[in-house]
Amino acid sequence: MGVDVIRFDALAFLWGKIGTDSQNLPEAHQLIPLFSMCLHVIAPGVILLAEAIVAPRNIIKYFGEVPLKGNECEVAYNASLTALLWNSIATKKTSLLHKSLEEIPPKPVDGIWVNYIRCHDDIVLGYDDDFIRAIGWSPSEHRSFLLDYYSRGLEWSPAKGLMFMYNPKNGDGRITGSAASLLGLEKALEQKDTTKINHAVSKILILHGIILSYGGIPLIYAGDEIGTLNDYSFTKDDDHKNDSRWINRPMQDWKTIENHRSQIFKGLKKMIQLRKKLSVFADTRTALIHPSPNEHIFLLNVTIEKLKFGSNQI
């Protein structure tokens, strides 16, 4: 039928067992290779995309571990990178980003990440508690801070988002909102503050710059390319009003998108052109993370040994 990729939804919850949280159970990792083998028989050109929005050290397992290394999914959403990028925006620090990416085992050579900053759902605060403690923070207090920053209307926060699936018993919650609104563009436009508008645009571009240069397959969510803001109309729809994720699922105005020439649109278009032009950004490359003496800077290794610029080879 022309399908290239099948999205394996919520596969971390594929197997349920009474007395457990029914998440990441060994039985799931026995079933997934069976699905994969059946798929290879029926449609050998089709691959599986793992949608496992869980803790960093668990996501990597859905590529397949010994003795099933590489026998589960060929592609996986890099939910860890997504959560870590939003953490760095809120804290203005890269310490948890560095710690987590350095400690997570490398993916198999044949596995590929899908890197994104937003999707149609919510942002899960899927951090490893041990990594949070290692940098001197309290996991529960830190998650509470992130919910405050993005979705509880802090006066000093530039973000405008909502919470999804909040659990008052343990304080866990998720974040919803368009990328532009979560990064301050909506509030800046309301305040008619040019400096804040430019700052928000810069944050939108820098996050997309990371997913375009990290290696793997970049995914840009529809509307983010023109800085689409939150859509609050869902609150008037009886079918959607109890699901805050609809705030970042607006109807697309394709005429507006087709004729758009904003700074965000131009910036993304330029970065995409550079990615296509420079082989160093090929989707098979694995990013190398380096510790930074400045906790506000993210250092990402880019090897350009075979690229030629004019008469010079770098």
Active-site amino acid positions: 9, 51
Are the CB atoms for 146 and 177 separated by under 8 Å?
A: no
In the DSSP assignment, the letter for residue 123 is B
Are the CB atoms for 174 and 202 separated by under 8 Å?
A: no
Residue with tokens 């089709």: 46
Residues 6+ positions from 118 with CB-CB distance below 8 Å: 82, 178, 179, 221, 224, 248
Residue type, 179: A
Tell the burial category of 222 from Cβ atoms under 10 Å away from its Cβ (0-12, 13-18, 19+): middle
Residue with tokens 């018993």: 169
The tokens of 281 are what? 């950004």
- DSSP calls for 284-312: TPPPEEE--SSTT--EEE---TT-EETTE
